[in-house]
Amino acid sequence: MIPSIQETSPVQAQYLAFINALKACGFEGDLNPDYANRTVLSTDNSIYQVLPQGVIYPRNIDDLIRVTELSNTKGFRDIVLSPRGGGTGTNGQSLTDGLIIDTSKYMNKILEINPTERWVRVQSGVVKDQLNAALKPHGLFFAPELSTSNRATIGGMINTDASGQGSCLYGKTRDHVLSLTTVFLDGSQWTSYVMDEETFKATASRQDRVGELHRVVNDIQKEHHEAIEAKFPKLNRCLTGYDLAHIRTSEGQFDLNSVLCGSEGTLGFIAEAKLNLLPIPKCSALVNVQYANFNAALRDATELMKAGPTSIETIDSKVLNLAMNDIVWHTVAEFFDTGDQENKPEVQGINLVEYTADSEDELKDKVQRLTDQLNALNGEGASIGYSVAWGSASVGKIWAMRKKAVGLLGNAKGEARPIPFVEDTAVPPENLADFILEFRELLDSKNLAYGMFGHVDAGVLHVRPAIDMKDPQQETLIRELSDKVADLTYKYNGLLWGEHGKGLRSEYALNFFGDLYPQLQRIKATCDPRNQLNPGKIATPKASIELIKVDEATTRGQEDRKIPVQVWDAYSEGMYCNGNGACFNWNPNDAMCPSWKGTRQRVHSPKGRASLIREWLKQLSERGINPVSESQQLQQRSFLGSLPSRAKNTWSRAQGEYDFSNEVMDSMSACLACKSCVGQCPIKVDVPEFRSKFLELYYGRYLRPLKDYFIGGLEHFIPTLAKVAWLYNGLIKPKFMQAIMARTAGMVDSPPLSGVDIEKAAASLGVDYATPQRIAALSDEAKQQTVIMVQDAFTSYFDTQVVLDTLQLLKKLGFNPLLSPFKANGKPLHVHGFLKQFKNTASQTAAFLNSLSNTGIPLIGIEPSMTLAYRSEYQKVLGDQAPKVALIQEWLAQHTEALQQQSDKFAPGEFKLLAHCTEKTNAAASMQDWKAIFSALGQTFSQEATGCCGMSGTYGHEAKNVATSKHIYQLSWGEIVKKRENQGKLMATGYSCRSQVKREDEIQLPHPLQVLLQQSK
């Protein structure tokens, strides 16, 4: 039995007192000094892991004022505060051992859009894609782009002066900031904007921090403009972090925002911003130019620039290959011909050249300039081929693939994985190829693997060398390589900090700025004299205080190496999360991750769960506990033998005894086990897999709730229950019974059994149960047309008509369907961590299904998540013995020719698929299969982009989840289902999804095969 984990790193008394004082002075947001929140926010995408004392989620600007005012009072003047947005930084810039102030949870409102004057006012926690989605109906967009646009906040973008693809045309975030509302550390609030001289003088004469800051910044500009001019490079990615070079605009006006943008939370809290907007270009196209050599791709960029593109992005073969093995490839494969034709060399680098225009003709002219340039070379140029993707939908898909590239790098095999520490260099574009040549020589001399991609037009290349930070020897490379790469950027007139900011790489600023560094310190000292705000980054307030060095902060590797290799390997599905934050995807119509979207709590995200399981394993390991052998012992132990101790532990828990495992449990139990993380996380973090291992051990220590036995055992007792469906249905129907069920079993809205005897009903359609004898009796010709439908408990017993309609359709299409006798699949057991029972069930069911498939007849399943369990959960416990069961559309799509021949028997119609999350994220290619099937039968088909329906198996039926389940439904499905234009067109593959729509909107959505049956004449 695992021990309770009572001692973790305690919150320092002063910080607890601060949090209590905040509560007392009316703080309206959330105050979280719990270990789970601290653990989850101890990382960003960097190599570092720094445990904060607590996490604070302000609800509004008044909360920020409360925090800052309190930090300025006696007893709290050395409290450290670090602002945080999406937490996607690559250099530890939002990490702190003080308090994190996260604005993303509540301060995420779009306050005002002015389409006429083309500006928007937002709170700082608004996500960039959220903003652009709101602006789209007005034909406008916020132009600065970054790969993390679906989770990075405007506050984070402003504070890192973010930029990315398209920066040569659109510039950086700073270029689009009209005004900033900042809360300074003394509690004062100020809205800064470009000022004329009169306003500047009036402001600078104020006798407060605002006045002082304006005076100091102006003096620095006046006194040091020559040194500034000489020091600041004239790059597209001009130097961020107190940008002294732009204090005065080209018209000579004073602009405090040049200093605030890129200040990485070291000067104040940005609460609101007014941003400049641009019209969305009407047309776009992307020329994808291929090279046999990556260096040739880099060198060619300057040539390509002559054809006047909007942007040029580059990726190397390593990144390209990783993309090819990811779900994202299905969306872009058609645009890439990667060289398997005869004699064409393998593609080692690609330049993605984008063009935008306000008319199709203008766009065609622009693209033609480039293609003429490429064609004229007649195979003699640097490139080996190109293709063109036309239209914003196609271009958007390719950019989404490029945006995912960096995350995919973290999915390289092995322990040495590409990590960010020298990934943000910028040099003048004309120096890029030579710079990279030397950079590669350096990495090659250390035998390091690496992947490269970036904004070649701006001279910014992201290089992530693969290092196993758990190995202390390899860890020393961080210092050595950082020093050498910093020197190299210097040699090529570039910067170590291209667009990601300085963070824990600020120490190189000392050397870079030389005599100017004290001027940065003057600015810091004016805003933050006691070094309370995100200290150790960019600049310190006085000479005696040093910046944090690259090898000074704790790294993840140092923490991870405390977990023994055997345990690390056994939980590998959660260990490699690198914090890139793709699971915080804002888009409500994207499957990733419903529990995060439904709660907006980072502990309830894949990253949150991966961070917690790592910490939990570390805590157990430090106590000499090996969870792998614990699991083995548990599976031998008798249920009754451990009952008294589990009852005692459960009682102690109820009395409030602390155990970190309970915090981990809170996070795990809110997971819907939808598996979107498995399909969509670039690292393939598989929460349901490690969650079930955790649940097994957790319930080895505590008593399980009754509902777990009910859900886990459902498949086993349902055939018996179905025989008395009338009794069961009669019992669960009355309201008072539902209330009793909710209170005792923790289950609500339990659906009634269909009460149909499926064997008899199938027989009446002329469909037999599949047995080896029946199959043996089939002629060879009949076998060709035969398929075995594997039953699942949910569709067969609760939604029997779907099975019957499917069988009927298959017969109409000329197939000979057989029905496999019902066997428990075991997925509910897996989901709830009954791992021993799952293994037993899986072994028995696999043996049976294999006996059927050994006859050579294909097996198909209709319920996506149950069917996919045969190739994932089964595969993990049974390996090659896992039965091969295709999703029904995967099998049917192999027969499209035969379907086409029957299309005249179907009336045409137009339909929209609401796919099941597990299916669309874990079997993405099968979405195309639905399209092929519907098209073959003369139907107009489209797939509707949706998030999760909120039901996910039995999640939405569990009393404690009902409110979140309903909320998740309303985030995406609710609106789509209710839309007038969708009436009669929607169909859903998932049993859970159909029952959720029925529960929430009283609409019975059909399965796609029911739709086809209904269209048949």
Ligand X SMILES: Cc1cc2nc3c(=O)[nH]c(=O)nc-3n(C[C@H](O)[C@H](O)[C@H](O)COP(=O)(O)OP(=O)(O)OC[C@H]3O[C@@H](n4cnc5c(N)ncnc54)[C@H](O)[C@@H]3O)c2cc1C
Among 33, 52, 54, 89, binds ligand X (CB under 6 A): 89
Give CA–CA dist 628/615, Å, rounded.
16
User: Should residue 88 be labelled a site residue for ligand X when binding is judged by CB under 6 A?
Assistant: yes
Beta carbon of residue 685, minimum distance to ligand SF4 (angstroms, whole number): 4
Residue 264 binds which of ligand X, ligand SF4, none (CB < 5-8 A, kind-dependent): ligand X
- C-alpha to C-alpha distance for 672 and 953, rounded to whole angstroms: 8
Query: Contact at 8 Å (CB) between 969 and 996?
Result: yes
Residue range at the interface with ligand X (CB under 6 A); choices 86-94, 309-317, 351-359, 426-434 = 86-94
Cβ proximity to ligand SF4, 683 vs 924, nearer residue: 683
Looking at residue 264, the DSSP 8-state letter turns out to be T
Binding of ligand X at residue 157 (CB under 6 A)? yes
Residue with tokens 């916020």: 142
DSSP string, 819-885: EPPP----HHHHHTT-HHHHHHHHHHHHHHHHHHHTTT--EEESSHHHHHHTTTHHHHHHGGGS--E
Least separation in angstroms between residue 737's CB and ligand SF4 is 30
Q: Which does 2 bind (CB under 5 to 8 A by kind): ligand X, ligand SF4, none?
A: none
Q: How far apart, in whole angstroms, are the C-alpha atoms of residue 817 and residue 821?
A: 13
Residue pair 242/222 in contact (Cβ under 8 Å)? The answer is no
The token pair at 117 is 């004057």
- Shortest distance, position 584 Cβ to ligand SF4, whole Å: 7
Q: Are 949 and 996 in contact (CB under 8 A)?
A: yes
Where are the strands (E) in 151-226, listed by range? 177-183, 189-193
Please list, residue by residue across 385-413, b when 16 or more beta carbons sit within 10 angstroms of its beta carbon and e when fewer do: bbebbbebebbebbbebbbbbbbbbbbbe
Q: By C-beta, is 613 or 722 nearer to ligand SF4? A: 613
The answer for residues whose C-beta is within 8 angstroms of residue 36's C-beta and 6 or more apart is 603, 608, 612, 663, 664, 666, 667
- Sole window of 47-55, 198-206, 498-506, 651-659 interacting with ligand X (rule: CB under 6 A): 498-506
Given the rule CB under 6 A, which of 84-92, 108-116, 723-731, 978-986 is the region that contacts ligand X?
84-92
**Least gap, CB of 320 to ligand SF4 (angstroms):** 20
Q: Minimal distance in Å, beta carbon 582 to ligand SF4?
A: 4
Distance in Å, CB of 163 to ligand X, minimum = 5
The token pair that represents 886 in the structure block: 């295709």
Please report how close the Cβ of residue 688 comes to ligand SF4 at its closest, in angstroms.
5
The footprint of ligand X on residues 527-586 (CB under 6 A) is 534, 580
Nearer to ligand X, 464 or 823 (CB): 464
Name the binder of 688 from ligand X, ligand SF4, none, CB < 5-8 A by kind: ligand SF4
User: Is 500 a binder of ligand X (CB under 6 A)?
Assistant: yes
Q: Residue 479 corresponds to which tokens in the numbers above?
A: 């210092």
Given ligand X, ligand SF4, none, residue 609, with its beta carbon under 5 to 8 Å by kind, binds: ligand SF4
Of residues 406 through 425, those in contact with ligand X by CB under 6 A are: 406-407
Integer Cα distance of 434 and 444 in angstroms? 15
Selected range binding ligand X among 158-166, 310-318, 434-442, 822-830, rule: CB under 6 A: 158-166
Judged by beta carbon distances under 5 to 8 A according to partner kind, the member of ligand SF4, ligand X, none in contact with residue 189 is: none
3-state secondary structure 622-687: HCCCCHHHHHHHHHHCCCCCCHHHHHHHHHHHHCCCCCHHHHHHHHHHCCCCCCHHHHHCCCCCCH
Q: How far is the CB of 583 from ligand SF4 (least distance, A)?
A: 3
Residue 84 near which of ligand SF4, ligand X, none (CB within 5-8 Å, type-dependent): ligand X
Cα-based torsion angle of the residue sequence 926, 930, 936, 941 in order, rounded to the nearest 10 degrees: -140
Half-sphere exposure of 576 (CA within 13 A, CB side): 26
CA–CA dist 790, 759 (Å, integer): 13
φ and ψ of 668, to 5 deg: -65, -40
29 binds, among ligand SF4, ligand X, none (CB under 5 to 8 A by kind): none
HEC assignment per residue over 338-355? CCCCCCCCCCCEEEEEEE
Residue nearest ligand X by beta-carbon distance = 156
Q: C-alpha distances in angstroms, 445 versus 121, 411, 440, 457?
A: 50, 24, 8, 28
CB-based contacts of 853: which residues, under 8 Å, 6+ apart? 788, 859, 883, 884
Amino acid occupying residue 267: L
Which C-beta is closer to ligand X: that of 93 or that of 317? 93
How many other C-beta atoms lie within 10 A of the C-beta of residue 229?
11
Residues in the chain: 1017
For residues 595 and 687, the answer to whether their CB atoms sit within 8 Å is: no
Structural tokens at position 600: 């907006």
Which of 44, 316, 559, 919 is in the footprint of ligand X by CB under 6 A?
Answer: 44
CB of 141 to ligand SF4, least distance (A): 25
For ligand SF4, the closer CB: 676 or 867: 676
**Which of residues 271 and 567 has its CB atom nearest to ligand X in the complex?**
271
1015 interface partner picked from ligand X, ligand SF4, none, CB below 5 to 8 A per type? none
- Does residue 146 interact with ligand X by CB under 6 A? yes
In the bound state with ligand X, the residue whose beta carbon lies nearer, of 101 and 436, is 101
| Residue written as token pair 């402003």 | 158
Residues that bind ligand SF4 (CB under 6 A): 577-583, 592-595, 606-607, 609-610, 671-677, 681, 683, 685, 687-688
674 binds, among ligand SF4, ligand X, none (CB under 5 to 8 A by kind): ligand SF4
Dist CA 854 CA 214 (whole Å): 80
Question: In whole angstroms, how close is the CB of 391 to ligand X at the nearest point?
Answer: 23
Minimum distance of ligand X from residue 148's CB (angstroms): 4
- Structure tokens given for 534: 């995100």
Q: How far is CA 220 from the centre of its chain?
A: 42
Residue span 269-308 as binding mask against ligand X, x where in contact by CB under 6 A, dash where not: xx--------------------------------------
> Among residues 33, 52, 54, 85, which is the contact residue for ligand X, using CB under 6 A?
85
Question: Which does residue 595 bind out of ligand SF4, ligand X, none, counting CB within 5 to 8 angstroms by kind?
Answer: ligand SF4
**Smaller CB distance to ligand X: residue 152 or 384?**
152
Query: Which segment (82-90, 184-192, 900-908, 977-985) binds ligand X by CB under 6 A?
Result: 82-90
Question: Smallest gap, in angstroms, from Cβ of residue 310 to ligand X?
Answer: 15
The yes or no reply on residue 265 touching ligand X (CB under 6 A) is yes
Contacting ligand X within 107-126 (CB under 6 A): 124
Contacted by 285, from ligand X, ligand SF4, none: CB < 5 to 8 Å by type: none
Q: Residue 311 touches which of ligand X, ligand SF4, none (CB < 5 to 8 A by kind)?
A: none
Residues 351-410 that bind ligand X (CB under 6 A): 406-407
Helices 735-744 and 725-732: crossing angle, nearest 10°? 90
Question: What is the Cα–Cα distance from 67 to 29, expressed in whole angstroms?
Answer: 11
Helix/strand/coil (H/E/C) assignment for every residue in 88-145: CCCCCCCCCCCEEEECCCCCCCEEEEECCCCEEEEECCCEHHHHHHHHHHHCEECCCC
Q: Look at residue 578 and give the partner it binds from ligand X, ligand SF4, none, a contact being a CB closer than 5 to 8 Å depending on partner kind.
A: ligand SF4
List the single partner that 153 binds among ligand X, ligand SF4, none, CB under 5 to 8 Å by kind.
Answer: ligand X
Q: Are 428 and 395 in contact, with CB atoms under 8 Å apart?
A: no
Distance of alpha carbon 2 from the chain centroid: 31
Question: Which C-beta is closer to ligand SF4: that of 682 or that of 746?
Answer: 682
Query: In this chain, which of 32, 39, 43, 45 binds ligand X, going by CB under 6 A?
Result: 45
Q: Is 40 exposed, middle or buried (0-12, 13-18, 19+ CB in 10 A)?
A: buried
Residues found near ligand X in the complex (CB under 6 A): 44-45, 82-90, 93-94, 103, 124, 146-148, 152-153, 155-157, 159-160, 162-164, 264-265, 269-270, 406-407, 499-501, 534, 580
